[in-house]
Amino acid sequence: MDFKRGENMNLKIPVISLLLLTFLLSLAFGFVAKAETQLVWSSPDEWEGIDVEIYAPYQAYPGDNITMRVKVGATKNLNDTYVTVRIYGSKSEGYDNWTTYAYVLSGEDLPVGAVVDQNFTLNVPSDVSPGSIYGHIYCLWTIVTPLPKGHSQEDSFEVTYLKNKAFEEFQAEFEELNASYHELKNYKNELGATRNLMYIFVATTIVSAATAFILLMRWPKRLWT
Instruction: State yes or no: pLDDT of 93 exceeds 60.
Output: yes
Residue range 125-136: mean pLDDT, rounded: 94
Mean pLDDT of 70-93: 95
CA distance 104 to 116: 8
pLDDT level of residue 78 (50, 70, 90 thresholds):
very high
Is pTM, for the whole model, over 0.75?
Answer: no
Rounded CA separation 216/195 (Å): 32
Higher pLDDT, 87 or 96: 87
Higher model confidence: residue 160 or residue 9? 160
Report how far apart the first and last C-alpha atoms of the chain are (Å, whole number).
Answer: 58
Cα–Cα distance between 73 and 112 in angstroms, integer?
8
Distance CA 6, CA 182 (A): 19
Residue 190 has pLDDT above 80, yes or no: no
Predicted local confidence at residue 30, as pLDDT: 45
Sheet holding 149-162, edge to edge: 59-60, 149-162, 131-143, 78-91, 96-110
pLDDT of residue 131: 92
Cis peptide preceding 125, ω within 30 of 0 = no
pLDDT in tens, 153-171: 999 999 999 998 765 666 6
Q: What percentage of residues in the chain have a pLDDT greater than 70?
A: 58
- Give the pLDDT confidence of 23-74 residue by residue, as tens digits: 555 544 444 344 478 999 999 999 999 999 999 999 999 999 999 999 999 9
pLDDT for 212: 61
Does position 152 have pLDDT exceeding 50, yes or no?
Answer: yes
Q: How far apart are CA 70 and CA 77, in angstroms?
A: 19
Residue burial 110-138, b: 16+ Cβ < 10 Å; e: rest: beeeeebeeebebebeeebbbeebbbbbe
